[in-house]
Every structure is written in C-alpha cells, then in structure tokens.
Structure 1
Amino acid sequence: MSIRILILGIGNVLWADEGFGVRCVEAMAETHALPPNVRLLDGGTQGLYLLPFLEDTDALLVFDAIDYGLPPGTLKVVTNDEVPAFMGAKKMSLHQTGFQDVIATATLMGYRPRDMVLIGCQPAELDDYGGGLRPEIAARIPEALCLARETLARWGVTVSDGRTTSDLLANPAIRQAAYEQGRPSAAEACRTGDARFFPGQRP
C-alpha cells in the first residue's frame, strides 16, 4: 500500500523571499507528474488550519524560507525531529510559529507524520512588500526540486516530467509570473510602506 505524502509550501508571497516555499510547490506542479498518493499544497500562512492535512499524511515534505544564518540562497535540508526546531529558530514571520504549533499539536494528537523533511532556503530580502523572489533565491528552486525528487525516491515514489493538477494551490492570478510581472514600478508604488508617514517626505 502506498504511503500518503504531502508536499507543502509555506510562506507569505507578499514579502519577497518569504514566498520561496510557495513558489517551489507551484514549480513542482508545473514540471512534475506526481502519483495520486502525493498531494501538493500551498499552505501560505494558514498555521493551525493545516492540521487536518497532517492528519491524513504519512510523510511530509516542506519547502520554506528559513533563516539559518547562512549566505543568501543557501539550501539546507533537515529531517524528522530537527524540523520543528528549525521552524521555530530565528523566526522571520508568524507563519513559522504557526507551523511549529501545527507539528506540536499533531504530535500531541498522535498523528504527526512519521517522516518529515524540510528543504529550506536562506532568504536575501524580506522587507519588500509586494516584492517577488530575489534572482539568487529564485535560481535555487530547480535545486530544491531536485532535493525533493531525491526525498520522494527514498520514499518509494517515482516522479516523471509533466504536470500535476491540484486544487490546493493558489489562484493563478497570484502565481509567480503573474504576480511579479503585474507589480507596479517603484515609482508608482512604495516598496516599504506608506510614504505619507515617512519623516521629511510628502506624498
């Protein structure tokens, strides 16, 4: 019997490299044909709302932007009991606290996935509201997907080129290409907040 696998991307696409995990899941859907026992989920910043998905999962693979204290663009893989520790260390946003709580709650309820792998990327820029991935971070997505394929192979899953349809991904309007190409220029939209509240500046 096939194990139930969840591939989860978490993060906030509104804050530049915070969206790395979500963009990885989108890229995997666009380039890989996955068997029915593997689900793709854009977890965004949903926190405990993700708990039911873990209840139905034997093996969990997570993509996320993680502050490892390493050079920007560095990929690092952690497994099993290390995963919640890294999700809670040097938190960059509330979604990491939320997902750490998800794992802790699943553990208490007795249905934490028996296998967990976190593929994390050190971000380059977070303080850019409405921004997309920085080029050096976006460039690591193919390598992150390669690491994911290696993990799936260890779990007995054969992956081929193609596409995977999932109703658990974000609306196409905010997928990476549409989101980044549709962004106003810096002259048209302030990148860091409302200019009316910056000292010495006028709108």
Structure 2
Amino acid sequence: MDLKEKNTEILVLGSGNILFGDDGFGPAVIAHLTQNFELPQKVQAWDVGTAIQEILFDLILSEDLPQELLVIDVMDQKLKPGKIFWLKPEALPRQSSGFFSLHLPPTREMLLKLVKKGVNVWLVCCQLKQIPNQVQPGLSRPVAKAVLQASKEIYKILIGMKDFPN
C-alpha cells in the first residue's frame, strides 16, 4: 500500500459485489465520488469489491495508516430501504463463531484492531432492499438514490465542510 507515499490521511473503501443487486452500493458510491467530485490530495477512495477483508488485514499489518478510514457498505438493520446511517465498529455485532472467511463483510474485530492502532474508523451504511440469490447486477431504486446522498455527505466531510457524526 502506498498510503504514506501519497500522504493519505483519509482512506475511503467501497465494499460490495456489483453483481448482486444492492450489494454493489459501496462500489457505486466510490464511482460516484471519483467521477463527480474533486477529492482532496489527502484522500484515497478505493473500490475494493469483495476484497475488503484482505485490505483490512493489510492495513492491520501496516505501519503506514490513514488517520481516518471510511468503509462504505450495505447492511440490513430493518430500516427503510435506502436509509443512510453511520456506525462505529463497536456497534457491529460480535462474530458468533470461530469461522473466518476473506469473503465476508468487514468484521468488528478487524476494524477494532485498526481503532487500537489509532485510526478513526466509520462505517457508512445503507439499508439494503434486497440482495438476490443469483447474479443480478443493478441497485434497487431506493439504494441507487442513496448513492447520491451518501456521496454528498462523504464529500462534505472529506473537504472539511462537515464533521464526522457524533
């Protein structure tokens, strides 16, 4: 990772699989941010697809860490589809089994390790409408609308017009 070389203070990771409906929210937000806004030099925004855990693992092992980490993903919290909400890693449920897979969403434990290393970690989440059981690209209408809202909120934080949520 070249975070130190590029003086990265804020790393934004869009997580998800664009082939499975609303799971493509994270990559869609990264695409919208990078195509429609001029990001500050201190910011890197990466579409990490389904490789989120590999990236987090690399960060945990790295000495070159960002000050802030935003992970963008969908989540099912039984809210209105398309609702944007921000979470700290402590709010995520503990992993109930010893099972570990590099293809699962970011785990609480991995994110908390980064917090212990001094990184301010936020999850920018969107309430999904549905994730299909088979390949079906494309976001649902409410989640597609949420891409614009999340992008604007994140951009305002990245340029210092807005503080991180409390």
**What is the TM-score when the length of structure 2 is the normalising length?**
0.74
CA distance in structure 2 between the aligned counterparts of 1:31 and 1:38, rounded to whole angstroms: 15
**Equivalent residue, structure 2, for 1:5:** 10
Q: What is the CA–CA distance in structure 2 between the aligned matches of 1:48 and 1:112, rounded to whole Å? A: 19
**Which SS does the other structure have where 2:45 is aligned?**
strand
Residue 100 (structure 1) aligned to one of 88, 101, 108? 108
Question: Does 2:38 align with 1:33?
Answer: yes
Counterparts of residues 44-83 of structure 1 (less than 5 Å) = 44-50=49-55, 51-53=57-59, 55=62, 56-79=65-88, 81-82=90-91
Structure 2: stretches of 5+ with no match in the other structure = 1-6, 97-102
CA offsets, 1:106-144, max 9 Å, x none?
35xx5251x222221111120151321112211111110
1:150 aligns with 2:159: no
Would the alpha carbon gap of residues 122 and 155 (structure 1) be closer, same or farther in structure 2, given more than 3 Å must change?
closer
Q: Distance in 1 between matches of 2:35 and 2:24?
A: 17
User: Would you say 1:138 and 2:144 are equivalent positions?
Assistant: yes
- For 2:130, the equivalent position in structure 1 comes to 125
Aligned-partner Cα distance in 1 for 2:66–2:138: 30
- SS for the counterpart of 1:116 is strand
Matched length: 145
Q: Is the Cα contact below 8 Å between 2:21 and 2:130 reproduced in 1?
A: yes
The CA distance in 1 between the partners of 2:88 and 2:13, in whole Å, is 14
- AA aligned opposite 1:68: Q
- Give the residue type in structure 2 aligned to 1:35: P
Aligned to 2:100: none
Q: Give 1:3 deviation, angstroms.
A: 6.5
Q: Is the 8 A contact 2:37 2:155 kept in 1?
A: no
Where do 1:147-186 residues align within 5 Å? 147-152=153-158, 153=160, 154=162
Provide the rounded CA distance (Å) in 1 between the counterparts of 2:35 and 2:121. 23
Q: Give the superposition deviation at 1:80.
A: 5.7
Q: Structure 1 vs Structure 2: percent identity of aligned residues?
A: 23
Distance 1:53 1:34, change over 3 A: farther
Looking at secondary structure, tell me which structure has more helix per residue: 1
Structure 1: 5+ residue runs without aligned partners?
157-203
